[in-house]
Structures are given as C-alpha cells and as structure tokens.
RNA sequence: CUGGCUGUGGCGCAGUUUGGUAGCGCGCUAGAAUGGGGUUCUAGAGGUCGCAGGUUCAAUUCCUGUCAGCCAGACCA
C-alpha cells in the first residue's frame, strides 16, 4: 500500500486545535452552506436546509398546539413605521438595509427591509383589534429578516437569516408575561428534546435586552469552545409598541385600553448551535430528531450473492418509519462511505455484506459512540428505533456533561479573569445589579452577563467585582 | 470598522522575489479489476490566473483601486 493514501475528503481541522477553522471546514464539507456573491448572505444548501425543515416542522406543531396561527407580513416596512417606537429604532437603525428606488424612480419614502417585524405587525394589529373579545391575538410568521452585520459567520451571524417570530396581544400584563414564559419554555423543550442541546434559561439584563422590550428572556447554550450562544429569545414588550402604534380596544368596562404585547423568535442560528455542541474531530454528529438522514445503509461487496437485494429490502422496510438513505453508489468503497457519512453526522449506519447475509444479520454503527453491534435481520427495524432514541438521549447527556464541566462558580475577580482566559465557559457569580459594573466586566474581560437564571443559587452576599451587596446570581460568558 | 492573511480548472495547492502567456495532487469522464475503515491500473476532458484600471513590446507575476473569504479584535436583538 502506498504511503500517500488518497484523501477523497479533505481532513477536517481538529476542533481542539482551532475551533473556528473546524467550524468553517465542517459546514463547507458537509453541504450545509455556500457563500454567495454578497457579503454575509449565505446559500443554505440541501443538507443544512433539511435540518431547518425538521426544526420548523417540530416547532410549528408546538406553536399550533399552544394556540397560535401563522400569517405572513410584508418584507418592506416604511421608514415612518420603523420610527414610531423610539428605543426600537435606535437599536435597529444602524443595521437596516434600505430600498430607495422602484425601478428608476426614487421613492417618496424609503422602505427598510425588515430586521424584525414588530412595527409592521403592530401597524396591522391596530386596524384589526377593537374589542376585548378579539383578544388574545396569537400569531406567528416564518420568514427571513435582514440585519446589515459587520462581521458574519454562516448560521451564527448572517446578514439575512431565516426565523420565526411570534407576535401576541393580551388583555393584561400577567397574561402577556405568561405567554412570554410559555413560549420560552417551548424553546427550551425544543432545544433539549429535539436538538439535544441543553440550555440555561433566564432573564436578560437591561443592557442586553431587546430594543423596545419591557423584559427579554433567553435560552443560552454553551459551545465546545466555551463560548455561549443565545439560542432563542422571548420578549415581554409591555405596552411600549401598542401605545406607539395606537393599538386600542374597548375593555369589559367600555374603556379604551392598550393591550400587552409579546414577541419571540428562534432562527437558523440554531443550526450553528447543533454543529458546535455535538460535533467532533470526525465532523458533524446530528441528533436523530433533526438529522436529514437518520440511518444510512451501506452495502458491502454489493454485487455478490444478493447483497444489493438484501440492502434494498431493508431500505424499503425502514423507509416509511425513518429518514433513510441507501448508499448504493458503485464508485466509492465502503471505507470511503463510512468516513463520508460520519463526517455528515448520520446517527446510525447499517452495514450489510456477504458475511452478514450468511448469518442473516446486519452491523449497526453508532456515530455518537463509534460502537458497532450486530442485529438479526428480522430485528432491524425495532433495533434502529431503539438506537435512535438512545442516541438522542446520549447526545443530550454528553452535551450536559460538557457544559457542566465548563461551568464554574466564582467569588472573586482574579479567578474570574483567569477562568475567562484559560478555560472559558459559563461562570456563575453573584451580581450587584449595577449596569456600570456589568459594563466594566465586559470591557475588561470580554464576558457579558448571558442571563439572570430562573434557577437561582445563593453563592454569596456580594458582587465579586465591586464588593457591593448582591442578591442575584447570573451566568457570565463570552458570547457568539 | 481595525489588524493580519488569502483569492490560479470542481477541491487543495505550486508558480509571482529575478514579467515572456500555467503546473501538481485529488476529484471528474471511459474501460477493467476490487469491495468488512478513505481501492488499483489504463486512457482522457477541463483553467488565461477574483474584478477594474495602470506601467510595459509583453502582466498570473509589478503598481493602484475594488470585491469576496478566513483568523483575531471592536460593534451588534
């Protein structure tokens, strides 16, 4: 055998060595994305888009189960609408794209490409709402938005991204708050149950909250490199927008009232999270819940004694139940295919060759543990189902362990700085609640308060940075 | 936006210092054998060197500008 073995698929940079490069390698080599001619705008290729479709299918069902209906609002928003809510414009104006011409003619009023749709939706809600009997409004839309980003990275921060945004109106503050937390909880369940991605949930500090929100709640996940990813947010918008947009209804006493408002969204950024939470040196490792291909069948020595036929038969048997691929390409060797599908993160591989046929069995290979086992032909369907469930759970478990191992409790500034530098991850610490203190930590360490978690622990009585009394525990991390 | 690096067949790269019109590996096509961890042999096809301008008899090579990407940072729901 020649010493220079051919490399059909380029090696992936080991993730321990250079995580950023690893990420770029993986997404390009697995047909997740490609770059378009315009900076920050990515083509989502079939393998990446299939993951998005699976996320959509699950979440859309959950939204409908919780009483929401889908609508679609326009891409373009008149400048005057965007400017109605002061904090909101200030937050978004620097990163909106403008349409100034229609054909050759300059528009009387320029139009922004939606960076988010609160304004256009509120302008419509104002027309549609008249009585308390109309409430609540529970609507969602799946769409794209554009935010002119200075530095971009596929899935994690792109100038255009796909997402869903829910926008609801309620009679009372309490109802709006309940909705805000209910949808955050749907997000958390999606992250944990579907994406196998553990998250910390809590409230954003005022510094970090959404432009125009009364309160922002978030789920934060931790990546392999110790950086946090804001994976979804749910905002209680109070009456900020409903007053600005003059959304009014007649209440039970016949008085005019402004309703309470929420919005919540997750985006294709989740795909980046899945890649960075589960991936390893062989490439992707996808949770069965969203994997475009849940199991791939690789026939070995396919021409010999009925192997092809047996593989095809298993394929037909499993296809109605699982997302399957039969890799009967003749130009590649089995070994090549093994590596290819591992890189693409297919959770389960089914090998079948002459030796298996003799013994009426197949070989099952798990991507998450790299373990092989044999399974008799008549048990394959059942065993595949079991293993996919096991893999789904194991990935969540492994991700939890990784996160816990990268989560530290800190009581003093020196330790905090050392951890952020040497072994970055989540740091749990008490916080005085002072925005200046929060700002100083960010400037000096690059870490921000990711959230004030719902699950509080009393780690001490004072803030590690200023020594002032502290009542809240927060999670700090460097973030994407 | 700042700093560093990069752009040459589909992919990865060499060539650029000392200008003379392009080379390698993989992939691709055809045929044959092989097939349980990136298979072998034979014969082929394919690029004008990111884009624009300049210098020159002549530019992939030198100069200017510009676009795009990577890495780090600043900024950013």
pLDDT digits (tens, 9 = 90+) for A231-246: 999 999 999 999 999 9
* Burial of residue A24, with CB atoms counted within 10 A of its CB: 0-12 exposed, 13-18 middle, 19 or more buried: middle
At residue A43, φ and ψ (nearest 5 deg) are -85, 125
Instruction: Scan for tokens 């047909």, then name that residue.
Output: A31
In the sheet where A295-299 sits, what is the strand order?
A324-326, A295-299, A348-352, A361-366, A372-376
> What is the per-residue pLDDT across A251-288, written as a single tens digit (0 to 9) for each?
999 999 999 999 999 999 999 999 999 999 999 999 99
Residues A384 and A272: their CA atoms lie apart, in Å, by: 27
With a pLDDT cut of 90, the percent of chain A lying above it is 89
Say yes or no: Cβ of A371 under 7 A from any atom of strand B: no
Q: pLDDT-based confidence at A205, cuts 50/70/90? A: very high
Q: Could you tell me the distance in Å between the CA of residue A351 and the C1' of nucleotide B9?
A: 36
Strand B-contacting residues in A 39-68, CB cut-off 7 angstroms: 39-40
pLDDT for the residue numbered A5: 33
A 223-242, residues with C-beta < 7 Å of strand B = 230, 232-233
Instruction: Work out if A165's Cβ lies within 7 angstroms of strand B.
Output: no
Helix, strand, or coil here: A301? Answer: coil
From the Cβ of A154, is strand B under 7 Å away? yes
Q: A111: closest CA among A39, A240, A120?
A: A120
Buried b (16+ CB within 10 A) or exposed e, A90-121: ebbeeebeeeeeeeeeeeeeebbbbbbbbbbb
In angstroms, the CA of A104 and the C1' of B73 are apart by: 41
Measured CA to C1', the nucleotide nearest A207 is B77
pLDDT for residue A1: 24
SS3 at position A451: strand
Answer whether A70's CB lies under 8 Å from A84's CB.
no
Check residue A7 and give its pLDDT: 38
What percent of chain A is predicted at pLDDT more than 70? 98
What's the CA A153/C1' B77 distance, rounded, in angstroms?
17
Q: Is the CB of A260 under 7 A from strand B?
A: no
Q: Residue A340's Cα: distance from chain center in Å?
A: 25
A 375-434, residues with C-beta < 7 Å of strand B: none
Strand B closer than 7 A to residue A330 Cβ: yes
Confidence at residue A86, expressed as pLDDT on a 0 to 100 scale: 87
Nucleotide with smallest C1' distance to residue A95 CA: B76
A331/B29 CA-to-C1' distance in Å = 13
Whether A216 CB is under 7 Å from strand B: yes
| A7 in contact with nucleic chain B (CB within 7 A) | yes
**What angle in degrees, to the nearest 10, is found between the helix axes of A413-422 and A435-445?**
40
Interatomic CA–C1' length for residue A151 and nucleotide B75, angstroms: 9
| Closest C1' nucleotide to A329's CA | B35
Helix spans in A333-434 (H): 334-343, 354-358, 380-405, 413-422
pLDDT band at A10 (very low <50, low <70, confident <90, very high): low
Distance A6 CA to B60 C1' (A): 29
CA of A20 to C1' of B2 (A): 20
pLDDT, mean over chain A: 94
- Kindly determine whether the C-beta of residue A20 is less than 7 Å away from any atom of nucleic acid strand B: yes
Bases along strand B below 7 A from a protein CB: 1-2, 11-12, 25-29, 34-40, 67-77
Between residue 333 and residue 362 of chain A, the positions with Cβ below 7 Å from nucleic chain B are 333-336, 338-340, 342-343, 351-357
Pairing of strands A137-146, A372-376: unpaired
For A192, phi then psi, to 5°, come to -80, -45
Q: Is the CB of A14 under 7 A from strand B?
A: no
Encode pLDDT of A427-467 as tens digits: 999 999 999 999 999 999 999 999 999 999 999 999 999 99
Average pLDDT over residues A391-396: 98
As a rounded value in angstroms, the CA-to-C1' distance for A339 and B37 is: 8
Helix (H) or strand (E) holding A169: strand A160-170
pLDDT at A97: 94
Q: 10 Å Cβ neighbour count for A418?
A: 12
Is the confidence metric ipTM above 0.95 for this complex?
no
Q: How far apart are CA A214 and CA A260, in angstroms?
A: 10
pLDDT tens track for A112-130: 999 999 999 999 999 999 9
Closest CA to A222 of A403, A400, A395: A403
* pLDDT tens per residue across span A368-387: 999 999 999 999 999 999 99
For the beta carbon of residue A72, count every other beta carbon within 10 angstroms. Answer: 9
* A369 Cβ nearer than 7 Å to chain B strand: no
Residue A13's pLDDT band, with cuts at 50, 70 and 90, is confident
A350: nt with nearest C1' to CA: B36
pTM score of the predicted model = 0.95
Q: Which residue has the higher pLDDT, A430 or A4?
A: A430
């Amino acid at each position: 055998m020649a010493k220079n073995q051919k490399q059909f698929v380029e090696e992936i940079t080991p993730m321990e060595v250079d995580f950023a490069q690893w990420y770029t390698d993986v997404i390009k080599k697995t047909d997740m994305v490609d770059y378009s001619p315009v900076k920050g705008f990515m083509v989502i290729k079939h393998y990446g888009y299939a993951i998005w479709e699976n996320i959509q299918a699950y979440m859309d069902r959950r939204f409908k189960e919780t009483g929401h209906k889908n609508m679609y609002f326009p891409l373009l928003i008149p400048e005057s609408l965007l400017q109605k809510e002061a904090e909101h414009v200030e937050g978004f104006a620097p990163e909106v794209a403008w349409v100034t011409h229609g054909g050759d003619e300059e528009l009387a009023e320029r139009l922004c490409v939606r960076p988010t749709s609160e304004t256009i939706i509120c302008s419509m809600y104002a027309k549609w709402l008249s009585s308390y009997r109309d409430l609540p409004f529970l609507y969602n839309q799946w769409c794209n938005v554009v935010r002119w980003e200075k530095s971009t990275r596929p899935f994690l921060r792109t100038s255009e991204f796909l997402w869903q945004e829910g926008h609801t109106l309620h009679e009372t503050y309490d109802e709006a708050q309940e909705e805000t937390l209910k949808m955050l909880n749907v997000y958390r369940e999606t992250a944990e149950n579907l994406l196998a991605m553990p998250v910390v949930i809590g409230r954003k500090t005022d510094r970090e909250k959404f432009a125009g929100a009364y309160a922002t709640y978030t789920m934060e996940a931790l990546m392999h490199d110790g950086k946090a990813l804001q994976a979804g947010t749910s905002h209680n918008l109070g009456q900020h927008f409903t007053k600005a947009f003059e959304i009014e209804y007649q209440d039970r006493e016949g008085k005019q009232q402004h309703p309470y408002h929420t919005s919540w969204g997750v985006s294709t950024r989740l795909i980046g999270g899945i890649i960075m939470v589960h991936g390893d040196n062989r490439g992707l490792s996808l949770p069965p819940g969203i994997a475009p291909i849940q199991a791939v069948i690789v026939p070995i020595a396919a021409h010999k004694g009925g192997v092809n036929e047996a593989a095809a038969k298993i394929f037909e048997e499993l296809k109605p139940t699982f997302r399957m691929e039969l890799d009967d390409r003749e130009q590649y060797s089995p070994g090549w295919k093994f590596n290819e599908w591992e890189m693409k993160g297919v959770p389960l591989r089914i090998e079948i060759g002459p030796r298996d046929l003799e013994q009426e069995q197949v070989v099952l290979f798990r991507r998450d543990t790299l373990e092989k086992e044999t399974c008799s032909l008549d048990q394959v369907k059942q065993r595949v189902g079991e293993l996919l469930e096991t893999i789904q759970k194991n990935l969540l478990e492994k991700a939890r362990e990784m996160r816990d191992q990268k989560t530290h409790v800190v009581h003093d500034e020196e330790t905090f700085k050392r951890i952020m530098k040497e072994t970055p991850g989540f740091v749990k610490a008490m916080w005085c609640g002072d925005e200046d203190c929060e700002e100083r930590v960010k400037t000096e360490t690059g870490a921000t308060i990711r959230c004030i978690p719902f699950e509080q622990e009393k780690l001490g009585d004072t803030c590690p940075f200023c020594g002032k009394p502290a009542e809240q525990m927060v999670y700090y991390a460097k973030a994407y």
